[in-house]
Amino acid sequence: MSLSSLVTDPLFIMAIGIIVVVGGIIGLKLHPFLALLLGALVVAIMTPAAVIERDALAKGATAAAARQLAGRSIGERIAHEFGNTCGKLGILIAMAAIIGKCMLESGAAEKIVRSLLKLTGIDKAPIAFLAGSFFIGIPVFFDTVLFLMIPLAKAMTMRIGKNYLLFVLAIMAGASMANSLVPPAPGPLFLVSEMHIPIGMMMVGGFLLGLVTISAGYLFARYANRKMPIPLRDSLDARLEDIKSASLKEDTQLPPLWLSLLPVVLPLVFICTKTALTSFPSFHAPDNPSFLHGQLIQLLEFFGDKYIALAAGGLAALLLLARQKKTSKEGMTAFVQTALMSGGAIILITAAGGTFGGMLQQSGISTRIADLTKHYQMALIPLAFLIATVVRTAQGSATVAVITSAGILSGMATHGHLAYHPLYLGLAIGCGSKLVPWMNDAGFWLVCKLSNLTEREALKTIAPMQTVMGIAGLITILIAARLLPLL
């Protein structure tokens, strides 16, 4: 291969792009937003116009549209991809941020956890923490789940006098898997839009796979708790006497369970109902439809739209917060502003990731990978897992790993004529993004500081558990794709 061929090879361009992103984050300590944009710029500069035009034609674009895309300036192509991703995901992530903030401030999230504890009892409290963190981790950001539940784990440990590490690992397992598998978490939302996976299908598939992976994580957590029990420790930011006082808060100060569940359940029900309608054409379009039937279908389709469904969940969360806090209009504005500030950073990182992925797609990477794997398509699933694992281990962020991997493989999901549904590729990316958390991962340090685990203790427990869950998910996906391709 000549030097000119090597420089324009999509695999070489992809390698350089990943080096720029990972090197920027780790070596130069750049914010992921800047590193991803820089990577997109480098990839765009290295990709010849002829390759862009050829790739657009291969994806079904007209000759005129392909020439127009290739003729755009680098800045225009980057801005176009950035805007496309913002348009797809900005509203969804903002609504998810509002739902999470309101559930915390209103006490709804704590009510859900306490209700789970009442359901399972003290002896099965770790299972309640596992299920609670997984369920709450669907609409709430990962770090927020930790802030909410680790203090409860300390309070529970103080009450029963044991199993502190088990509680912490159970919380970590549930929250981390929900964050990478089930919308409206940012990573899965990006997979839904980038790989053209129906959001309802991603919800159901991610939820079912999540149950398998967190079960594997829970078994490891019990093993680790037996082998190296860790005591509850005092600290300046979480004094043991303060924990005890907080655990005595009355249930009457919290909202009812049905109201607490509403911001999460409402969008899930709306979206899944629309998915069910799409899956059963006879109900959607019967032979003799009545006026009432038609109006009902239109109403369900309206609220089943992912943007409307998440907005309905956000409205329910705001009403719940207003009921609990009895705040003024200015107070509600402050809560929403805080939520949008946290969600805004996620939107920027996600949009920059979409830009990086879009530039990689224009380099022809999908066609190149298709040529390498055309004789054995099942190899794409472990390949997706491996790419996500490498990116996560190198730069630390599971969300960035999901975004980067989806950008590389989305062309295969939409134009590769797979022998199975693209859902399986998306789930493989989600599972691969769990490996391997260590010092370059903000979540790793967050768990250490909140739980008072030492770095050595965290490396011996969190990283192996995440690895076990990711591999269990990969094995499950491979079996399901073979036995149930969903085509």
Q: What is the pLDDT of residues 88-122, one digit of tens each?
A: 778 888 887 888 778 777 777 777 777 877 887 77
Burial class (CB in 10 A: 0-12, 13-18, 19+), 381: buried
Residues 6 or more apart whose Cβ sits within 8 Å of residue 1: 9
Burial class (CB in 10 A: 0-12, 13-18, 19+), 406: buried
pLDDT value at residue 170: 94
DSSP result, 16-37: HHHHHHHHHHHTS---HHHHHH
**Alpha-carbon span 440 to 323, nearest angstrom:** 41
pLDDT value at residue 241: 62
Q: What is the pLDDT of residues 237-256, one digit of tens each?
A: 455 665 555 456 677 778 88
Name which residue leads in pLDDT, 283 or 347: 347
Place of tokens 């079996």: 479
pLDDT value at residue 276: 73
Q: What is the pLDDT of residues 156-212, one digit of tens each?
A: 787 677 889 999 999 999 999 998 898 877 788 888 888 888 888 899 999 999 999
Asked if residues 462 and 48 have their Cβ atoms less than 8 Å apart, the reply is no
Q: Where are the domains of the chain?
A: 3-483
pLDDT value at residue 246: 46
pLDDT value at residue 290: 66
Query: Mean pLDDT, to the nearest integer, of 330-334?
Result: 69
Query: Mean pLDDT, to the nearest integer, of 413-441?
Result: 82
**Alpha-carbon span 254 to 390, nearest angstrom:** 43
- pLDDT band at 478; cut points 50, 70, 90: very high
**Alpha-carbon span 277 to 73, nearest angstrom:** 43
Which letter, b or e, does each residue of 204-223 get, where b requires 16 or more Cβ atoms within 10 Å of its Cβ? bbbbebbebbbebbbebbbb
Burial class (CB in 10 A: 0-12, 13-18, 19+), 132: buried
Distances (CA, A) of 412 to 121, 317, 383, 392: 47, 38, 12, 21
- Residue 439 DSSP label: T
* Average pLDDT over all residues of the chain: 81
**Alpha-carbon span 258 to 253, nearest angstrom:** 15
Query: Which ranges of 228-328 would DSSP assign to H, the alpha helix?
Result: 240-247, 257-279, 281-284, 291-304, 306-325
**Alpha-carbon span 132 to 114, nearest angstrom:** 9
